Amino acid sequence: MASIELSSVTKRYGETTIVDGISLSIADGELVVLVGPSGCGKSTLLRMVAGLLAPTAGRISIGGRDVTQLEPGDRDIAMVFQSYALYPHMSVRDNIAFPLKVRRVRPAELDERVRRVADMLGLAHLLDRRPRDLSGGQRQRVAMGRAIVREPKVFLFDEPLSNLDAALRTRMRAEIAELHARLKATMIYVTHDQHEAMTLADRIVLLNHGHIEQQGTPLDLYRRPRTRFAGEFMGSPPMNFLSVARQPDALMSPHLRVARGGLRIDDWDVLPEELVLGVRPEALRLAEHSSAPHRLDVQVAWVERTGSDSYVHARAGESSVVARVTASDGERVAAGSTVTLAFDNMSVFDRDSGLAVAHC
């Protein structure tokens, strides 16, 4: 197993910069999820680590060895592709055995390793089938088997679950997490699905426009987004954003009041006057009485009931607001009514720079 070190890795195509000088250290055995919207450079970064793309500038090392100029096959990595990239004309057995055959592993050892991996992934009865005869989940498992059988230093996953249906995705996600726990291998996992990132990662690296927007543990990113973008990207439904003005004793808007006391901000007076308040949907609750220190008046548009929770979709002036409340609270709210929502946790962002100035 090995650590990974990226120093100022850059990828440009002509005038367009896809990855902009990213430096990142990944510890031995860590599962790092690269997450971000389409075009943020996460797949490009992964492909550079794999050696499928050459960086325009920067250095990549794996296990202390500079691999920037090495071919993918010489980097001791394995990769699982979004399309699985199984060899269609080969059986499951030959697909899994391919990397071993390339490395001239002795037939007896090869058979033993293929069998072990097939047992581990529940593929033993499918070894003679062709990929076209497998379901999506089985194909996914074969792709993982082909990666595992090599016993590489590093595993790379490029949106491996995107082609699966929701139920299967949940199951495969659990299998990948279990695999990581068992193999204790260093893994880089690329996804655009923040939910996948939250549930799998030891550490999330959030990318935006080719640079690292924020990195940290999933809960860290969730609770303390460094920017408005990070707050918006992580979490579903996304964080609510409301424009507020700084007053001497509160953050105010016509529909909203956040008492200064609850915010624990020491240099209140140096804050910009125009701010944006970010509140997670689950931080909002129906206010029992109008004396809550932080509160928001909204007009309910409709209520979405999922059974366990209710999502109250509402408007506060120009802003739309979603609140996740208990099912019983959801029943108390009628479309068209005006209700007061209270909250304790929030983030405050500078309106112009988008940077967070406070969390509580």
Partner 1 sequence: MSERPSFLVRLGAYLVLALATLTVMFPVYAVAVMAVSRAPGFSVVLSPDPSLFTLEHLAKFVARHDANGRWLFGRQLANSLVVAGGATALGVLLATTAAYAFSRFRFPGHRLGIASFVVVQMFPATMMIVPLYLLMSALGLLDSVVGLVVVYATTALPFCVWMLKGYFDTIPADLDEAALVDGASRVRIFYQVILPLARPAIAVTALFSFLSAWNEFIMAATFLSHEEKFTLPVTLFRHVGAYGADWGAFAAGSLIVSIPVCLLFFALQRQLVGGLAAGAVK
Within 8 A by CB and 6+ apart from 229, the residues are 208, 213, 354
Nearer of residues 83 and 338 to partner 1, judged by Cβ? 83
Nearest approach, Cβ of 148 to partner 1 (angstroms)? Answer: 12
- Find out whether 57 and 19 touch, Cβ atoms under 8 Å: no
Stretch 144-163 residues interacting with partner 1 (CB under 8 A): 146, 150
CA 1/CA 347 separation, integer angstroms: 38
- Binding of partner 1 by 85 (CB under 8 A): yes
Nearest approach, Cβ of 262 to partner 1 (angstroms)? Answer: 52
| Binds partner 1 by CB under 8 A, chosen from 23, 69, 83, 326 | 83
Q: Which stretch binds partner 1 (CB under 8 A): 57-65, 79-87, 192-200, 271-279?
A: 79-87
- Binding of partner 1 by 77 (CB under 8 A): yes
- Find out whether 207 and 217 touch, Cβ atoms under 8 Å: no
Nearest approach, Cβ of 85 to partner 1 (angstroms)? Answer: 4
- Nearest alpha carbon to residue 357 among 283, 269, 249, 259: 269
- Binding of partner 1 by 79 (CB under 8 A): yes
CA 59/CA 57 separation, integer angstroms: 7
Q: Is the peptide bond before 237 cis (omega within 30 degrees of 0)?
A: yes
Stretch 92-131 residues interacting with partner 1 (CB under 8 A): 98-99, 102-103
- Find out whether 161 and 190 touch, Cβ atoms under 8 Å: no
What is the distance, to the nearest Å, from the Cα of residue 269 to the centroid of all Cα atoms in its chain? 36
Q: What's the number of CA atoms in the CB half-sphere (13 Å) around residue 323?
A: 30
| Binds partner 1 by CB under 8 A, chosen from 27, 73, 174, 259 | 73
| Binds partner 1 by CB under 8 A, chosen from 50, 121, 250, 357 | 50
Q: Which stretch binds partner 1 (CB under 8 A): 37-45, 65-73, 189-197, 208-216?
A: 65-73
Contacts with partner 1, residue ranges (CB under 8 A)? 50-52, 71-74, 77-79, 81-83, 85-89, 98-99, 102-103, 146, 150
